[in-house]
Amino acid sequence: MIPCLNEAASIERCVRRAREAVESEEWHGEVIVVDNGSDDGSAQLAGAAGALVVHEPRRGYGSAYLAGLAAARGQYIVMADADLTYDFADIPRFVEALDAGADLVMGDRMKGIEPGAMSWLHRYVGNPVLTGILNLFFRTGVRDAHCGMRALRREALPQLDLRTTGMEFASEMVIRAGKERLAIAEIPIQYHPREGESKLSSFRDGWRHLRFLLVHSPTWLFIVPGAVTALLGAVIALTVLLQIEIFGREWDLHSMVAGALLMIVGTQVVALGLCAHAYGTYFMGERDAWFDRMRARFRLEHGLLLGGVLMFAGFAVAGVIVGIWADRGFGALSEERLAVLAAALFIIGMQVFFSSFLLSILGLRRRS
């Protein structure tokens, strides 16, 4: 399967080489070219070379592949670009890996990049950084998550449930395969200089990939930053309350206010992350082992109890302040640090209390 947008200079050779690879193994197969609105005659050239041409007028790398996958009839689907950067003679190696039990086979270009085939920005920054983030978030273990030559079993498509229409389609396939616990294999391949003009936009497409990774990982987008923020705020607040010297000085009211704000903001971000997990689980069919364990262990009442305890603690600290004030004959009062702590505890308790109700509301739509 080959997506194509104005690749008249190379599409005929791609189709011929793909057909030669299929015929050399005496397989019963088809070469599908998905024309993505070309205006240079690419579709006609592909058809004349023996390809089944599927027309997808909606522009986008993902749009082209979604149309092609819907039209594919083979047991296995091998995907490659139309610019001759990939060697179609490698098709049997991908099929061999599928025969060995893999559900998704990725090409690994990183040790086979020919001179001029990939810019230094993509080779040393974009691809390693985005692949590293993908593996950190989703633990897929792949070395080249954005390789355009890959293969999969057609029967795995319902599990993958692919939806994106742009370049982030490449990341989505790997992420979904990892989440569904599909068997992923990698094979080293060569990466050649392309024919014709590149359609990539480094920063726009890189941002789309990064954005996709973040929005599909509530743990790293919300929960980890929120928890770190709240913990930092708690450490600052304790430092002020215990009057611990740092850098040779004691930290007072302004630091206490900063710590309280960090605790409040961090708690809210964690709550947003939990709600995002709940939405993904109950409305999008996502599966996350950590969230599944948490929702099996904790109920609405646990959240309400925790929120209630925190609000009570806030009231208790406020009561201590009133007691100190009364002990001083209701005169001058300067317990600003305790006042900030009381307010922070009460606000955080309110956040936990009502966020627990929101999580419970989202959980009303549980999938059987």
Residue-wise pLDDT for 36-56, tens only, equals: 999 999 999 999 999 999 999
The stretch 18-26 carries a mean pLDDT of 95
Report the pLDDT value the prediction gives residue 225, as an integer from 0 to 100: 97
Residues above pLDDT 70, as percent of the chain: 99
Numbered ranges of CATH 3.90.550.10 in the chain: 2-215
DSSP class of residue 33 equals E
Banded pLDDT at 23 (limits 50, 70, 90): very high
CB 262 within 8 A of CB 233: yes
Report the distance separating Cα 330 and Cα 314, nearest Å: 21
pLDDT for 325: 87
Residue found by looking up tokens 């302004």 in the block:
254
- In sequence order, the 6+-apart residues with CB closer than 8 A to the CB of 284 are none
364: DSSP letter: T
Asked whether the predicted pLDDT for residue 86 surpasses 90, the reply is yes
Judged against a pLDDT cut of 50, whether residue 368 lies above it is answered with no
Q: What is the dihedral of CA 226, 180, 127, 33, to 10 degrees?
A: -140
Is beta strand 2-4 parallel, antiparallel or unpaired with respect to 52-55? unpaired
Half-sphere exposure (Cβ direction) of 85: Cα atoms closer than 13 Å: 25
Contact between 22 and 31 (Cβ < 8 Å): yes
pLDDT of residue 151: 97
Q: Is the pLDDT of residue 366 over 70?
A: no
Mean pLDDT of the chain: 92
pLDDT at 291: 85
CATH number for 2-215 (one of 3.40.50.720, 3.50.50.60, 3.30.110.30, 3.90.550.10): it is 3.90.550.10
Q: pLDDT, tens digit, for every residue of 240-291? A: 998 888 887 878 889 999 999 999 999 999 999 999 999 888 887 777 778 8
Task: Check whether 13 has a pLDDT greater than 80.
Answer: yes
Q: For residue range 144-179, what is the model confidence (pLDDT) as tens digits?
A: 999 999 999 999 999 999 999 988 999 999 999 998
Give SS3 for 205.
helix
DSSP-derived secondary structure for 235-300: HHHHHHHTT--BTTB---HHHHHHHHHHHHHHHHHHHHHHHHHHHHHHHS----HHHHHHHHH--H
Q: Which residues contact 79 (CB under 8 A, 6 or more apart)?
A: 1, 2, 65, 148, 149, 150, 151, 152
Contact 352, 268 (CB under 8 A): no
Q: What are phi and psi of 59, to 5 degrees?
A: -65, 150
Q: Is the pLDDT of residue 20 over 70?
A: yes
pLDDT at 367: 47
pLDDT tens digits for range 294-309: 888 888 999 999 999 9
Mean pLDDT of 54-69: 95
Indicate the Cα dihedral angle 57, 58, 61, 64, nearest 10°: -50
Which residues have C-beta within 8 Å of that of residue 354, sequence separation ≥ 6?
A: 307
pLDDT of residue 39: 93
Tell me the pLDDT tens digit for each residue of 102-152.
999 999 999 999 999 998 999 999 999 999 999 999 989 999 999 999 999
